[in-house]
Homo-oligomer: A and B are copies of this chain.
Amino acid sequence: MQDVSSLVAQARDGRPRAVARLISLVEGASPQLREVMAALAPLTGGAYVVGLTGSPGVGKSTSTSALVSAYRRQGKRVGVLAVDPSSPFSGGALLGDRVRMSDHASDPGVYIRSMATRGHLGGLAWAAPQAIRVLDAAGCDVILVETVGVGQSEVEIASQADTSVVLLAPGMGDGIQAAKAGILEIGDVYVVNKADRDGADATARELNHMLGLGESRAPGAWRPPIVKTVAARGEGVDEVVQALEKHRAWMEEHGVLAERRRARASHEVEAIAVTALRERIGDLHGDRRLGALADRIVSGDLDPYRAADELVEGLTQPLAGGSAETA
């Protein structure tokens, strides 16, 4: 087992195997999890985190790949985290439909990781932020977080990004789908991909209408742009990057970036604390203390609420490492 500080130093140098190892350590809740997280902390905060969401078929993977190319042309180091909330599989291997990513497989300036969250204690809220921290500390300038699945988890992923990109495509009834899924509220930048197809203008118009972009806004408010792309041919992708940079600049100017990162950190701490406390209580099964409390409840000597008080009193030692450690 390599020591954590040398792994972190290697990751910082852009060595992909060190990055992979660190993500595995934080993802698997290894005994070194806490040590890794402590070592990463001072190195984080440099990366710009962009979330990409959208229904299957809109070209998310292709768009992500095109964005990677665009950022690479700017000489930026890029991390890609493909999160699949429905898959039990995790690791460095690319998912079946993510073939386009192989364009970047040999580029040392790009780190690609797929991550499964099903079955994770604490789910997305727990697993994804830790991998983002590794990529951030490893010196990625931009981290693209792409959800592979659909649904509520997209909103959760978006809450972990600095900027959220919502992708749509013509003729998929996406406008309505997006509205249903609550996606419309989370987009900072909207992309109508496959814009060479019939109906792209209609989709953009519908979106424009649904977002109320024609209406007047408070001065200084962010007006989400709608960018049309043909990601498979790289068309419009530089415009997406420009829209992202514009949003980032706007967030910095208005203190929104700091606010979002603060909210993200709060969310992260909360998820860790809840997970740890739940595990700790679970660990008490068969424990003498819980048994004694249960006996007193059965005998009518104590009510369950007072017993819960006593149980919680016993939980004030520092938290143990990750989930695996206490399992």
Q: Given contacts A262-B298, A312-B316, could you give 19 more A-B pairs where the C-beta distance is less than 8 Å?
A: A37-B306, A40-B303, A41-B302, A43-B300, A44-B300, A265-B298, A266-B291, A269-B304, A270-B285, A270-B311, A272-B305, A273-B312, A276-B308, A276-B312, A277-B312, A308-B319, A309-B318, A312-B319, A313-B316
Q: CA–CA, A272 to B76, complex, Å?
A: 49
Q: Is A290 an interface residue (CB 8 A)?
A: yes
Do residues A265 and B313 form an inter-chain contact, with CB atoms below 8 A? Answer: no
**Contacts of A290 on B, CB cut-off 8 Å?**
266, 269-270
Known: A293-B265, A294-B262, A312-B276. A303 touches B41 (CB 8 A): yes
- Partner-B contacts on A (CB < 8 A): 33-34, 37-38, 40-45, 129-130, 258, 261-263, 265-266, 268-270, 272-274, 276-278, 281-282, 284-285, 290-291, 293-295, 297-309, 311-313, 315-316, 318-319, 321
Q: CA–CA, A268 to B308, complex, Å?
A: 9
- The oligomer's copy count stands at 2
Chain A facing B: main interface SS: helix
**Contacts of A269 on B, CB cut-off 8 Å?**
290, 293-294, 297, 304, 307-308, 311
Do residues B45 and A304 form an inter-chain contact, with CB atoms below 8 A? Answer: no
Known: A265-B298, A290-B266, A294-B265. A304 touches B129 (CB 8 A): yes
Q: CA–CA, A140 to B202, complex, Å?
A: 66
Do residues B297 and A265 form an inter-chain contact, with CB atoms below 8 A? Answer: yes
Q: CA–CA, A308 to B270, complex, Å?
A: 7
Known: A276-B312, A304-B272, A318-B309. A294 touches B263 (CB 8 A): yes
The 8 closest A-B pairs by CB, nearest first: A265-B297, A265-B294, A41-B303, A272-B308, A37-B303, A273-B308, A266-B294, A262-B294
**Cβ distance A234 to chain B, nearest Cβ, rounded Å:** 34
Q: CA–CA, A302 to B44, complex, Å?
A: 10
**Cβ distance A297 to chain B, nearest Cβ, rounded Å:** 4
Q: CA–CA, A268 to B303, complex, Å?
A: 10
Question: Which of A41, A129, A284, A316: most chain B CB closer than 10 A?
Answer: A41
Q: CA–CA, A273 to B278, complex, Å?
A: 9
